[in-house]
Each structure stands twice: as C-alpha cells, then as structure tokens.
C-alpha cells in the first residue's frame, strides 16, 4: 500500500521544504509580574490524549463492533471526497501538497474537483485497511509513513486534522448510528492511525 494520503504522490519540484500551518493557538493569562500563568482546564496532557505511536493499543469487542458496523454502511467514494474537500477548505495550507490537482481556488472548485474526489476515495479506502487490521496498524501504515515522511515531507499534524474531519463527516452522514460510544471508538481509531502514519517521523 504505497499510495499517498495527504499529498499529491507526484508533487512538483516547486513544493520546497515543509511549511507548518494552523498550529494551535495558545492562551495564557499574564501574572502581575508579566509571566505566563499555566492554562487551566479539563483537557488532559497531550501524552495522555496521544500516546506514543509504539504504545500497544487494546480494542474491546464493543469497540470493534462499533467500528466495523458503521464502516459497513460508509460510501467510501462520497465520504472520502467530502472528507478531503473539507480538509482543503477548512485548513487551506494543506492545499500546497496537492498543487497538481488543478483548481483549488474556492470551496466550490474544491468540492467539484474530480482529482479531489478520486484522491479522497483513496484516502478513505486506506482507512478501510485500518478497520481490517486493528491489531496491527503500525505495520499496516509502515510504508505510507515512510512515504509521507521521507519523500513528501508532510507535516504529521495534518494526519490528526484529517482524522478529526473524518469524524465530522461520519457524524453528519450517520446521525442515528454515530452515538457517543461509536464516536469514542472512531475517535480512538483515527488517533491511532494518525500516530501510525507519523511513526517514521520519530
């Protein structure tokens, strides 16, 4: 499985070095002395939310059923096209990895772009490989991770963004089936896939 996910597999030489974009905004209250006070809130540490990519992942029988059950209803072509289009629209800096895709000048152009639709299908088909190989995701995405890291130089943060976009698309298409429990299982899956794809960056 060597097809690229978050980049045109045949980029033009003009791509140049990776440019990070859309990095999270930081909020901090200033103390009277002018130093930044730690941000308070319920969000757990990043190490808890996003364990190292080599961490062993355990899947319960319920999680597996929720993932495979919903996947059986997914139209890969339609949902894949929508997910990639949303990624390019919501996070426009990702368009630099698809500069051979033609017109990406507006949301309408992106949604109607046949190359976006075709590549979106490939992206979601790759998630199908994850559904089939829940116990061995690291090996499943080894070659893709190497491709994105060493050849395409894609910022691994974009894998997480794509996963979050996919969650939104699934929730929109399957409002009744996408229960909180189902969302939790799929959120876990896209998180682990993102880490498997980012493994060669470490």
pTM, entire model: 0.67
User: Is the pLDDT score of 91 beyond 50?
Assistant: yes
Q: Could you give the CA distance from residue 4 to residue 103 in angstroms, rounded to a whole number?
A: 20
Residue 23 located in a structural domain: no
Residue 51 located in a structural domain: no
pLDDT, greater one: 21 or 135: 135
Position 106 scores a pLDDT of 97
Q: Are 128 and 137 in contact (CB under 8 A)?
A: no
Residue 6 located in a structural domain: no
Helices (H), the chain: 46-49, 61-71, 76-90, 107-111, 114-132, 137-140, 142-146, 157-173, 180-197
Q: What is the pLDDT of residues 18-72, one digit of tens each?
A: 334 443 333 334 444 444 444 444 444 444 444 454 456 788 999 999 999 999 9
Structure tokens at 61: 């029988």
Residue 160 located in a structural domain: yes
Among the ranges given (24-28, 144-148, 189-193), the one the predictor scored with the smallest mean pLDDT? 24-28
Region label for 74, one of left (φ > 0), alpha (ψ between -120 and 50) or beta (otherwise) = beta
- How many domains, in total, are found in the chain? 1
- Provide the β-strand partners of residue 36: 30
Residue 191 located in a structural domain: yes
Residue 26 located in a structural domain: no
Domain boundaries, position 176:
57-201
Residue 94 located in a structural domain: yes
User: Is the pLDDT score of 81 beyond 70?
Assistant: yes
Specify the CATH number for the domain of residue 173.
Answer: 1.10.490.10
């Amino acid at each position: 499985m060597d097809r690229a996910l978050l980049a045109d597999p045949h980029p033009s030489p003009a791509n140049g070095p990776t440019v990070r974009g859309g990095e999270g905004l930081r909020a901090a209250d200033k103390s009277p002395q002018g130093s930044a006070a730690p941000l308070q809130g319920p969000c757990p540490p990043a190490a808890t939310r996003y364990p190292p990519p080599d961490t062993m992942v355990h899947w319960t029988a319920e999680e597996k059923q929720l993932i495979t059950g919903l996947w059986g209803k997914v139209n890969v072509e339609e949902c894949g096209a929508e997910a990639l289009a949303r990624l390019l629209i919501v996070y426009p800096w990702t368009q630099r990895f698809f500069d051979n895709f033609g017109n990406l000048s507006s949301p309408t152009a992106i949604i109607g772009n046949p190359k976006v639709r075709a590549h979106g299908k490939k992206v979601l088909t790759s998630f199908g490989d994850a559904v089939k190989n829940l116990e061995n995701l690291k090996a499943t995405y080894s070659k893709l991770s190497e491709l994105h890291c060493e050849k395409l130089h894609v910022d691994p943060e974009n894998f997480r963004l794509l996963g979050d976009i996919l969650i939104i698309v699934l929730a929109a298409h399957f409002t009744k089936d996408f229960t909180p429990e189902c969302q939790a299982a799929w959120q876990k899956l896209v998180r682990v896939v993102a880490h498997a794809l980012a493994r060669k960056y470490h």
